Amino acid sequence: MRLRSIFTNSFGILLSRITGLIRDVLMASALGASIWSDMFFIAFKLPNLFRRIFAEGAFTQAFMPSFIASKHKGVFSTAVFLRFIIFIMFFSLMVTLFPEPMTKLMAWGWSWNLIEETAPLTAINFWYLDLIFIVTFLATLLQYKEHFATTALSTALLNISMICALWLYMKQDPKTVAYALSVAVLVGGILQISAHLFTLRRLKLDRLLLGGWKYRNQKDVKAETEHFKSLFLPGILGNSTPQISAFVDTLLATFLMAGSVSFLFYANRVFQLPLALIAIATSTALFPAVSKALNNGDEAKAYENLSQAFWLLAFLLGAATLGGMLLAEPIVWLLFERGKFTTFETLQTTHVLQMYMVGLVPFGLAKLFSLFLYASHRHKKAAKVAVYSLITSVTSSLILMQFMGAAGLALAGSIGGWVLFAFTVKEIGTQKFIKIIRNRRSLYLMAFLVIFALMLYEVNQWLLSLIR
């Protein structure tokens, strides 16, 4: 298991999340959980939805195995890049010309006047998709060389750009703050591209792209690009479960009390910290190694990495779940309750966060186990699993929101996460999973979690006595 790569990813993600939390603290102080914060989050949600599904999710997991197997890597990567960037730029142009229908997709419960006010923000923010696709493409090439530091650290540049905008404009009216944040999103994307181009040149990978462009009409990579497309299309569905579920949650939240979209956003930001820091960092670091091992027919090595990573995630995600559930109110209070973010909003966000944390372990472990589906080109299997999870989460959302509001939407997503994990394990092989957990480490894990939970309970009682 590549611990150095995992720790590099984790450090970069930690830096990103710290700067992200600083950004969210300033945003909560400037906008609170108001209609203007809801408007910005709706506008920013669209490019993030497509970014996670198309750019960072399905693209990376389809491109990496295809790139490793390609005989003309430069030509293949150039061909794929040109096809994607032309499509994405056309899509962004359509959103710029017709932002209202796209905004309405995210906020069915809003009036048309509110949609029209939010639409210009949507048009600005959507161009971030173009920028982050370029970043993702360059990052995948760096991952092939098992270089993770640039991508991990550069994610903080977006947050730093938005922090600067908040610092300059937070005393202005909410409309000015929302527009300043939208422009800062694009500035952050440009900074991320610049960082990757610098590293690409330093590692001399720019020669691969230049060579691919030079020989693009002389090397036949049609079969390779067709194979990539056969992986990418089901990969979209396979990676879309959490994103489409979040899309539906945001849409449904517009039918709930004002601020519900913001409750989901702030709680999800906290939830994403351990998920990204532990699970995504581990999976990202292992994916190139697992792909290469399976491509070379060394399945034993691939499963050895899986077993070691499983126990690392089990202990860390288990501890994070307990911490997030038992210390939810002190965490939200510490991070957000200031300025226009009131005690009521703290309590609402706390309930949402606790429901999100129910799904931390399954989402994290499903991310790990799905590596083998994507690395072995079983993208259609991953897509089938995603459909089961998505149906479960959407159905649960429609039911639970009636009784629990925004917290019910978060719980529904967590239920979908457990379904995703269960079916992913089934596709990998239930016997293989049983073999992994049939270990004395299972007893150590249970004992550790019980002791840790008791400690956290006492800490939480002490903290609540201080803040309330």
Q: Which residue has the higher pLDDT, 445 or 2?
A: 445
If asked whether residues 89 and 106 sit together in one domain, one would say yes
Can you give the pLDDT at residue 52?
A: 64
If asked whether residues 264 and 285 sit together in one domain, one would say yes
If asked whether residues 274 and 202 sit together in one domain, one would say no
Q: What percent of the chain has pLDDT over 90?
A: 19
Cβ count within 10 A of residue 205: 20
Can you give the pLDDT at residue 93?
A: 93
If asked whether residues 60 and 162 sit together in one domain, one would say yes
Can you give the pLDDT at residue 184?
A: 94
Residue 375 predicted with pLDDT over 80: no
If asked whether residues 295 and 227 sit together in one domain, one would say no
The answer to whether the beta carbons of residues 20 and 250 sit under 8 Å apart is no
Which pLDDT tens digit goes with each residue over 295-334?
666 667 767 777 777 888 888 889 999 998 999 888 888 8
Can you give the pLDDT at residue 351?
A: 92
Q: Which of 202, 233, 264 is the last residue of a domain?
A: 233
If asked whether residues 67 and 173 sit together in one domain, one would say yes
If asked whether residues 264 and 226 sit together in one domain, one would say no
Confidence at 37, pLDDT banded by 50, 70, 90: confident
Can you give the pLDDT at residue 33?
A: 60
Which pLDDT tens digit goes with each residue over 379-422?
778 778 888 888 999 999 999 998 898 899 999 999 999 999 99
If asked whether residues 225 and 321 sit together in one domain, one would say no
Give the range of the structural domain holding residue 335, as residue numbers without chain letter: 240-468
Report the number of distinct structural domains present in the chain: 2
The answer to whether the beta carbons of residues 248 and 394 sit under 8 Å apart is yes
What's the whole-number mean pLDDT along residues 136-155? 81
If asked whether residues 97 and 203 sit together in one domain, one would say yes
What's the whole-number mean pLDDT along residues 7-19? 75
- What's the CA gap between 39 and 174, in Å, rounded? 10
Confidence at 136, pLDDT banded by 50, 70, 90: confident
Can you give the pLDDT at residue 51?
A: 64
Residue 193 predicted with pLDDT over 90: yes
Can you give the pLDDT at residue 41?
A: 78
Can you give the pLDDT at residue 451?
A: 93
If asked whether residues 186 and 252 sit together in one domain, one would say no
Q: Which of 233, 258, 284 is the last residue of a domain?
A: 233
Can you give the pLDDT at residue 149?
A: 77
If asked whether residues 212 and 269 sit together in one domain, one would say no
Can you give the pLDDT at residue 2?
A: 57
Residue 108 CA: distances (Å) to CA of 112, 204, 226, 251, 352: 9, 48, 37, 6, 21
Residue 365 CA: distances (Å) to CA of 104, 170, 233, 293: 34, 39, 23, 20
- What's the CA gap between 105 and 248, in Å, rounded? 10
Task: Give start and end residues of each alpha helix (H) in 71-148.
Answer: 73-97, 99-106, 112-125, 128-144
Q: Which residues contact 86 (CB under 8 A, 6 or more apart)?
A: none
219 phi-psi bin (left φ>0, alpha ψ -120 to 50, beta other)? beta
Residue 133 predicted with pLDDT over 60: yes
Across all residues in the chain, what is the average pLDDT?
81
- What's the CA gap between 441 and 446, in Å, rounded? 9
Can you give the pLDDT at residue 419?
A: 92
* Lowest-confidence region among 81-90, 102-111, 171-180: 102-111
If asked whether residues 155 and 44 sit together in one domain, one would say yes
Which pLDDT tens digit goes with each residue over 258-287?
778 888 888 888 888 888 777 777 776 776
Q: Which residue has the higher pLDDT, 221 or 254?
A: 254
Q: Which of 207, 233, 259 is the last residue of a domain?
A: 233
Residue 137 predicted with pLDDT over 70: yes
Can you give the pLDDT at residue 4?
A: 65
Confidence at 220, pLDDT banded by 50, 70, 90: low
Can you give the pLDDT at residue 357?
A: 93
